[in-house]
Amino acid sequence: MTRPARPGTGGDHRMTETYDADADTAVDGLDARLVVVRGAFRLDVALTVAPGEVVALLGPNGAGKTTALRALAGLTPLTEGHLRLDGAELDRTPPESRPVGVVFQDYLLFPHLTALDNVAFGPRCQGASKAEARARAAEWLDRLGLADHAGAKPRKLSGGQAQRVALARALATRPRLLLLDEPLAALDARTRLEVRAQLQRHLAEFEAVAVLVTHDPLDAMVLADRLVVVEHGRVVQQGSPSDIARHPRTDYIAQLVGLNLYRGEADGHAVRLDGGPAITTAEHLSGPVYVAFPPSAVTLHRDRPTGSSARNLWRCEVAGLETHGDQIRADLAGELPLAADLTTVAAAELDLHPGAEVWATVKATQTHAYPV
C-alpha cells in the first residue's frame, strides 16, 4: 500500500492502479450526480473524480457539502441522480456494502473500544477473523505513527491522534472512495498545521478516490488536487487550487482567496462594471468578464494624485480598518467598494481613520481580467 508521494499538487497526474473491480470494462473512479431534496433545500452536484485524485468540496456552511458527503456514503438517500464507483452502480447499495470509508468531522471513534479495536472494526465486519483484523489494524496504526497508542481508549487520545485513528479506521476497510468531513475542523491551530501536513501525505499515498469537505480554503488548497466550490447546493466553480485562487468567480471565493472581484462588460482594455465605474485592464477582451486584483495592488493617497501613471483612480471613504498580519487592511466604500492593504507606517502617514476620504489607484498591469 505504501507508495511514493505524488509530486506537487498540480492536479492532472492520475495514478491508474490495477485492482479487481471490473478493470477492463469500467470507467475507474467516481462518477456521480447527487440530487438530494430536503424541504426547500435542493442539492444538485455533479462530481467526477479519478482514482488517486483528491477533490475538496469547498463552500460556506449550509451549502450542502456534508449532505453530498452523506449521499456518497449512502447515509442519505439520493432523490435523483446516479452514483457510480469504478463502474459499479451504488445508488441503491446500503452504506455497509459500499466500498467507502468515512472520516467524520468529530471522528466518532467508538468510545468503548481501544484505538486498535476501532481500526479492527471494519476488517472484522468484512469477515476477517479477530486475530487477522487486529493484525491489520496494528499495521495501519503503525503506518500512521500510532503504534504506541493501540491500547488507548479514544478519550485518552489527543485531537491529532484521534484524527489519525479515524483515518486508519476508514483506510483499514480498503475503501475505493475515502470521504473526509471537515477533517481538521476539530483541531486547534497548532495541531492543525501538523495534522494537515500528515494528512496531505497520507492522502497523496491513497490510490483510490478521495473526497473531502471543508469550509477552510487553506485545508482545501493544501490537501486537494482539485476544488469543487459549492454554494446553495450547486457547484459554482471548480478547478485546480491555483486556478481557483487566480480566477475566482463568486464573491465567496474571492473573499476566501483574498481578491477584489468585479464583474462587467469588456471592450478592449476597458471593463465597464455592472452599475459602477470602468476599470482599465492589461488584457484585451470583449464581452462579459471578471476583473480581479489583490488588495496589495491598491495604492492610497490623501489628495488626488496628479503625476500617477495609474489609469484606475477612484475616490473612496474608509469604512473600516483591521490588522492583517503585519499590514493594515482598509475596507473602502465609494464608487468602487474595495479592500486595500498597506503598511502600518503608510496608514499612519495617511492618517487613516473611518470616515476619512482617500484616493485609490490600481495599475492596469496588476489587474487580471478573464471571461465569465
Partner 1 sequence: MSPTSDKAAAATESLRGGPRRRRVRSGVPLPLLFPALIGLAFLVVPLIALLVRTPWHSLPEQLTSPDVWQALRLSLICATAATAVSLVLGVPLAWLLARVEFPGRGLVRALVTLPLVLPPVVGGVALLMALGRNGIVGQWLDSWFGITLPFTTTGVVIAEAFVAMPFLVISVEGTLRAADPRYEEAATTLGASRFTAFRRVTLPLIAPGIAAGAVLAWARALGEFGATITFAGNFPGRTQTMPLAVYLALQSEPEAAIALSLVLLAVSIAVLAGLRDRWMSAG
Which residues of this chain interact with partner 1, rule CB under 8 A?
Answer: 73-75, 94-98, 100-102, 104, 108, 110-113, 121-122, 125-126, 169-170, 173
Q: Can you give the three-state secondary structure of the chain, one letter per residue?
A: CCCCCCCCCCCCCCCCCCCCCCCCCCCCCEEEEEEEEECCEEEEEEEEECCCCEEEEECCCCCCHHHHHHHHHCCCCCCEEEEEECCEECCCCCHHHCCEEEECCCCCCCCCCCHHHHHHHHHHHCCCCHHHHHHHHHHHHHHCCCHHHCCCCHHHCCHHHHHHHHHHHHHCCCCCEEEEECCCCCCCHHHHHHHHHHHHHHHHHCCCEEEEEECCHHHHHHHCCEEEEEECCEEEEEECHHHHHHCCCCHHHHHHHCCEEEEEEEEEEEEEECCCCEEEEEEEEEEEEEEEECHHHEEEECCCCCCCCCCEEEEEEEEEEEEECCEEEEEEEECCCEEEEEEHHHHHHCCCCCCCEEEEEECHHHCEEEEC
- For residue 171, the minimal CB distance to partner 1 (Å) is 11
Q: Between residues 98 and 134, which has the closer beta carbon with respect to partner 1?
A: 98
- For residue 111, the minimal CB distance to partner 1 (Å) is 7
Q: Between residues 19 and 110, which has the closer beta carbon with respect to partner 1?
A: 110
Q: Between residues 130 and 315, which has the closer beta carbon with respect to partner 1?
A: 130
- For residue 191, the minimal CB distance to partner 1 (Å) is 22
Q: Between residues 174 and 363, which has the closer beta carbon with respect to partner 1?
A: 174
- For residue 342, the minimal CB distance to partner 1 (Å) is 32
